[in-house]
Amino acid sequence: MLINLLASLVLLLNYTILHAQSDEVTVIDTQHYSSVFGEIRNYRIFLPPGYHQHSEKKYPVIYYYHGWSQRYFGETYNKYAGIDQGEDNQGDNIRNFVASHEVIVVKPDGYNRSPQEDYYLRPYNVSPVETSRQFPLYFPELIKHVDGSYRTMADRNHRGISGLSMGGFMTFWIAGKYPHLVSAAGNFCGSPEFYVGPKDFPVEFKHADMYHNYGGVAVRLHYGDQDFIRGYHQDLNRTWTQTMDNYQFEIFEAEHTPCGLSEMFQFMLDTFEDPPASPIRWHHIDAYPTFDVWDYQVKSNRNLPGFTVLKNVDKQGFQSVVREFLPDGPSMPEVQLSITTPPLYQPKTPYTITTINPLTNSTNTTVIHSDNQGRLKMSLDGGTNHIGINTNQAPNISLASYALSNVGWAQKNQPIKLSLNLLNKGTSAAKNVTVSLIPTRKTTSVKTPKVTVTDIPAGEVVVISDPFTFEVEDDSTLDIVQFKLLMQTDHDQQWEEFLEIPVHRRAPLIQDFVVADGREFMVATAGDDTTSMMLGHGNGDGVVNPGESFVILVPHNGVFYRTQLYFNDRNLNPGNHHRRESDNWSSYDHVGGSAKYSIPLVASDCPAGSNIKLLAEYWLPNYPYHIIKKGELSITVEGHDQTPPVIRWVDFGADNTLQVKLFDGDKIASVQARLVNEKEPDQVFEFSLNHQETSDDNVAGDQFFSYQIPEQGFGLYKIQIIASDASGNRTAKNWPGSLVVR
């Protein structure tokens, strides 16, 4: 009885407070149980005037993600950018905006610690990924809770997301991950990249690579002309302004603050009045092994860092690949993908599925029946796959790849010849296909705008023999150019895709450089520091040999800088096997970005005397900026392959399957494993892992080997991997740790 009375008093008190504030903004700090996190989560909600008087009225919602050292209730003792109410942000704050606009604003808590742990200022579990909390995965649950608890207009057309600094990073990440849930995204001074994703295998997530993720979303960036992150914002703008028609930005006289908040929120309300349509054809990149987007369900067994990339997804098919890194990292064909479509198709109906991998020149045709709802479920590997979903005898044309035929990389103010490879994932040949290359920005001109391909047989890849020619103006504000590729036949069949090509300004010649091919060097790191590192893999003599991987070092003021390399040479990265690493600058500029450096691999069959041209890029510190330096150089390959394979990683699954990934400029001839029982060293067994030609490991050339160990009874084993390539080079390595073998 007493408990019921107290509960009634609490409800009465709440009602009194709400009723008293019915003509003003109501600010409520509350919480709910999150099944995603398995804990109580807090949030603050701003309800507009009249919310409690007009019980039938519904409101659009803006979600706002706070920045570093902030919480849902405001700022902590590190005050730098208050946003909530009163005099925060010189009065341009959430409460004052809600007071004059019919909108609900929700401010979730990004805190990433349990109550018993020491207080921690870094929110959202990014850079570093320290806990199992995945804040993007929480967003759909938060939406469902808010829509179920308050009178919201519960659809993507009336839902937006915004945030400051680290919250700005989250804004772009979440909006790109869930374009089917929001129609507007507004970032205040957000960091450009962080390490994100699953705790055991995080990835470096860079917004500049994600421009394809925002179909159907209006996107905006605000930053200050004195913001310490502004150099990275300029980097982003050189890409996004060229690749996204739905992106805009504004620079304010401000530092690292939520500058122009009212303008940003008004941009969102204007978007809600005329929301962008859901795209008919879309692209998506995701850091998680399993995700949903636009009602497609994607699952995989990936347990290593990587990205699942979907392109040109529509009812007629899509492209898929799993990459180690973006934008052009090696594919991961060892990953198993499962993709289930929305109910777009006739229920219980057979569909012809054509899968083409242009890198391996393989074509596979199967028949899949849709389920009772009209969904199709397809099983794929993580390689580069073009999938055609065919309902009749018709062609289905797509871009397979492109190549620059007269240059090593695209430069401004230079004629560039572009060769295209087209494929037909349909069930009949395409005749007399007119291919048009249309630039999407005025900075690019096409001198050969159209070519005709007489025949593209079903299931085949065709190289367009007559290349296009284009030229880019010498405009320092862009790093990439975009084209619309229009393909059409005489029978009114038409396909449309977009193609993006990185471009560079003309660079000076670099004559003073060093090749690191398995040597230790003192190099620049973290912006303003140095460290000693072993770089490359080879004999360490400073001369590039077949089979080696190397890093180009450029000296500046007595310090070596690692370089990112651009090139167009078949002798480098055979089979697209290559590596790229990052030099994180967070300790220097407190942003989260990193300078990248390449570790190209020389093909084992590269002829001695081959001259390879490279464009090298590296960063120099000039706080708060990073100066991007570029220069051209050439290397000469000498000798022959004497470099043994590199064992990239070893993984052991719950089903007793041992997996080994290698890195070598030649074909892998054999991989053996030797297991020794830790408690009974006399118990030793050896076996060969499957070659790529066998049915158990059937992606040729992927340098991935596996073997399912027969049950031995529970035991801990030490493991040694022995690998040899076709040139006779051999490596043996004791892998750290122990295997639990059943």
Domains of the chain, first to last: 24-273 (3.40.50.1820), 282-390 (2.60.120), 397-502 (2.60.40.10), 514-636 (no CATH), 646-741 (2.60.40.1220)
**Across the chain, which distance is largest between two alpha carbons, in Å?**
93
Give the tokens for residue 101: 């606009």
- List the 704-708 sheet strands across, edge first: 646-652, 657-663, 704-708
Please, what is the angle between helix 135-149 and helix 166-177, to 10°?
80
Q: Which one, of 178, 263, 186, 161, lies nearest residue 216 by Cα? A: 178
Question: DSSP assignment, residue 536?
Answer: S
DSSP assignment of 130-148:
-SS--HHHHHHHHHHHHHH
Tokens 């150019």, located at residue: 481
Handedness of CA 181, 183, 186, 192 (dihedral sign): positive
Side-chain half-sphere of 405: how many Cα atoms within 13 Å?
15
Q: Which amino acid is at 646?
A: V
Instruction: Measure Cα distances from 385 to 291, 309, 613 in Å.
Output: 19, 11, 30
How far, in Å, CA of 634 to CA of 609, rounded?
12
How far, in Å, CA of 105 to CA of 47, rounded?
7
Q: Which one, of 622, 640, 644, lies nearest residue 518 by Cα? A: 644
3-state secondary structure 290-338: CEEECCEEEEECCCCCCEEEEEEEECCEEEEEEECCCCCCCECCCCEEE
Contact 708, 655 (CB under 8 A): yes
Contacts of 196 (CB under 8 A, 6+ apart): 126, 127, 129, 173, 202, 203, 205, 287
Q: Which one, of 284, 342, 339, lies nearest residue 311 by Cα? A: 284
If one counts every other C-beta atom within 10 angstroms of the C-beta of residue 677, the result is 17
Contact 295, 314 (CB under 8 A): no
Contact 672, 685 (CB under 8 A): no
Q: What pLDDT was estimated at residue 692? A: 45
DSSP assignment of 341-357:
--S-S-TT-EEEEEEEE
How far, in Å, CA of 400 to CA of 421, rounded?
5
Contact 387, 315 (CB under 8 A): no
**Beta-bridge partners for 552:** 515
If one counts every other C-beta atom within 10 angstroms of the C-beta of residue 484, the result is 13
Q: What pLDDT was estimated at residue 700? A: 60
If one counts every other C-beta atom within 10 angstroms of the C-beta of residue 593, the result is 26
Q: What pLDDT was estimated at residue 254? A: 96
3-state secondary structure 163-216: EECHHHHHHHHHHHHCCCCCCEEEEECCCCEEEECCCCCCEEEEHHHCHHHHCC
Contact 496, 399 (CB under 8 A): no
Q: What pLDDT was estimated at residue 263? A: 98
| pLDDT mean for each 10 residues of the chain (742 residues) | 38 35 84 97 97 94 96 86 91 96 98 92 96 97 98 98 98 98 98 96 97 97 97 97 97 97 98 96 98 98 97 97 96 96 97 94 94 97 96 92 94 94 95 96 93 94 91 88 95 92 95 97 97 97 97 96 97 92 96 96 97 98 95 97 95 89 94 92 89 47 88 87 96 90 84
Please give the radius of gyration of the chain, using alpha carbons only, rounded to the nearest integer: 28
Query: Roughly how many angstroms between the first and final C-alpha of the chain, as a whole number?
Result: 58
Instruction: Measure Cα distances from 706 to 450, 689, 691, 695 in Å.
Output: 47, 5, 8, 11
Give the tokens for residue 697: 């490991």
Give the tokens for residue 112: 């990433």
Compute φ and ψ for 168, nearest 5 degrees.
-70, -40
Contacts of 81 (CB under 8 A, 6+ apart): 67, 70, 75, 89, 164, 165, 256, 257, 258
